[in-house]
Structure 1
């Protein structure tokens, strides 16, 4: 039993007239009738009651009509689904991100993407940077948002967003009341940073900033999320240099200060395999780029 046979049967079952049904499917009536007879022969049942005055469905014909309509609906659904996936408008999209990039732009990009492409299932994966590189390379992730600099064999990056660094201090810190803070004034401070294993780009950038100011940061505590870093700062355990988006971590006991003399910027990049992007990943790339303009 083929789809074409079912299409012919549905036509005659709905028209209850061989001439009109044949015309509806653009066939001559004799071959049309032959195909219906062939279908009945293959199934071993009578689907239609034929008289000189009328055509009617047998109980078996009524049952086949219900099944045929359900099959056609599933077929249309499958075709539409496949086409949506091919366009990136449906299916699964696996997005990786580092803990240091979880604040700021990521929530806004996700919000916009879900509004524009609600049928795409987003799977967000928080990993260490090197793990993200491996996952992208092995095909376990489709695209990722990471702190620059980031390098991994076979993975391309493109700039997404830049923001200033700020200094986070406990509110009772002696420098908290200063209007302008020189980097050199931080030489003796205790620093709280992300572990290098989790965010090597961010860790190395902050270390480089300090070295350029004439000192190496004395890291006394490490934490793997901005809420944890800021909480440790609030507790008076040290200070940190953070992207300005970290200010979205609400904390009454922390003061954020601009560092005017700092030339470096905290940069986020999109990372993806060098091979052709999936359609859904391409749409995510477009939304992310548009969100940051």
Structure 2
């Protein structure tokens, strides 16, 4: 089987039609160049050049070989470039997990960032609740996740990318929909559409902590794993729910929001932040590059800086 150096030698001589010029082009001396051509001719069993003291010409066999040799060398060059681009994160694919609300609040910004700085990379999007994303990250089935920090998971690192808070979502016309905010005490006895403990544990625990902080017992009437379902319940007039403030930008008609107000320390307790998560042992260069692009746009406190992802409510 012929080698790439033999094909490179052949193409150089075929294009230059001069062994000396071809040797200079390849940064080698003429004797080893001639040797490579001889080896190629022996391998193919065909004479490729007609040589004389005054000129070099391609034979019919050489003319047949030239376009194929060029294609082979071009393919090798492209393959080398493709491999290098993948290894540096300029190409390849990234599997990105995201929650339903993150898909509307934060994901568009991230997609624009990737399109602007990594046009050669494909993104595979997978909507999933935070618990499922953590599991997928641990298994290496997802490269990056936009999730709520439900629990710490060995080998999975998270970084704050989006500050958020819970607000009270009410049916339009509800007695508490005054525009002046709602105290947690005012929620006593109100039918509450609540998060599933199995699939939305982060929000379930957060709502329970808020109620407990005001010594209010929730009256749970419905359960759902996703914010859009809870907002649909509220739009149908089935009761109230607590959802991230960012979700209200995509609430169905018939739902209004009121800020939570009350005791000292409520603002620190009422945090529904979104984190970027990744497996510390991940080996996807493209995912690592996108992660660095995202983190480079965050301030040292983890809050998005100027010109990047907006901070919900700011």
TM-score, structure 2 as length reference: 0.87
Alignment match, 1:274: 280
Secondary structure class of the residue paired with 1:103:
helix
Moved more, 86-95 or 123-132: 123-132
Assess if the C-alpha contact under 8 Å between 2:194 and 2:220 holds in 1.
Answer: yes
Alignment match, 2:33: 32
What is the distance in 2 between the residues matched to 1:230 and 1:31? 77
Assess if the C-alpha contact under 8 Å between 2:163 and 2:272 holds in 1.
Answer: yes
Name stretches of at least 5 consecutive residues in structure 1 with no aligned partner.
Answer: none
Alignment match, 2:292: 286
Residue 22, structure 1, aligned to residue 12, structure 2: no
Alignment match, 1:214: 215
Assess if the C-alpha contact under 8 Å between 1:161 and 1:269 holds in 2.
Answer: yes
TM-aligned CA deviation for residue 26 of structure 1: 2.8
Assess if the C-alpha contact under 8 Å between 2:168 and 2:182 holds in 1.
Answer: no
What is the distance in 1 between the residues matched to 2:122 and 2:260? 40
Secondary structure class of the residue paired with 1:257:
strand
Secondary structure class of the residue paired with 1:163:
coil
What is the distance in 2 between the residues matched to 1:143 and 1:23? 49
TM-aligned CA deviation for residue 260 of structure 1: 3.0
Assess if the C-alpha contact under 8 Å between 1:167 and 1:259 holds in 2.
Answer: yes
Alignment match, 2:81: 80
Moved more, 198-207 or 225-234: 225-234
Secondary structure class of the residue paired with 1:269:
strand
Moved more, 241-250 or 187-196: 187-196
What is the distance in 2 between the residues matched to 1:99 and 1:252? 18
CA offset digits 1:221-253 (Å, max 9, x no partner): 233433322121111011111111011114331
Matches within 5 A, 1:88-237: 88-177=89-178, 179-237=180-238
Assess if the C-alpha contact under 8 Å between 2:193 and 2:223 holds in 1.
Answer: yes
Assess if the C-alpha contact under 8 Å between 2:150 and 2:202 holds in 1.
Answer: yes
TM-score, structure 1 as length reference: 0.92
Please give the root-mean-square deviation of Cα atoms over the aligned residues, in Å: 1.9
Secondary structure class of the residue paired with 2:197:
coil
Matches within 5 A, 1:238-257: 238-257=239-258
Assess if the C-alpha contact under 8 Å between 1:142 and 1:281 holds in 2.
Answer: yes
Alignment match, 2:51: 50
Count of matched residue pairs: 293
CA offset digits 1:10-58 (Å, max 9, x no partner): 1110011122222222333233222211210111011112233322112
Assess if the C-alpha contact under 8 Å between 2:85 and 2:91 holds in 1.
Answer: yes
Moved more, 179-188 or 226-235: 226-235
Assess if the C-alpha contact under 8 Å between 1:148 and 1:201 holds in 2.
Answer: yes
What is the distance in 1 between the residues matched to 2:182 and 2:152? 33
What is the distance in 1 between the residues matched to 2:101 and 2:151? 13
What is the distance in 1 between the residues matched to 2:124 and 2:165? 29
TM-aligned CA deviation for residue 66 of structure 1: 0.8
CA offset digits 1:63-118 (Å, max 9, x no partner): 22111111121112111111111111210111112335333122211222222211
Q: Sort the Cα spacing of 1:177 and 1:123 in 2 relative to 1 into closer, same or farther, 3 A.
A: same
CA offset digits 1:115-159 (Å, max 9, x no partner): 221111111112233322221111111121111233223322222
What is the distance in 1 between the residues matched to 2:215 and 2:286? 46
Secondary structure class of the residue paired with 2:104:
coil
Assess if the C-alpha contact under 8 Å between 2:200 and 2:226 holds in 1.
Answer: no
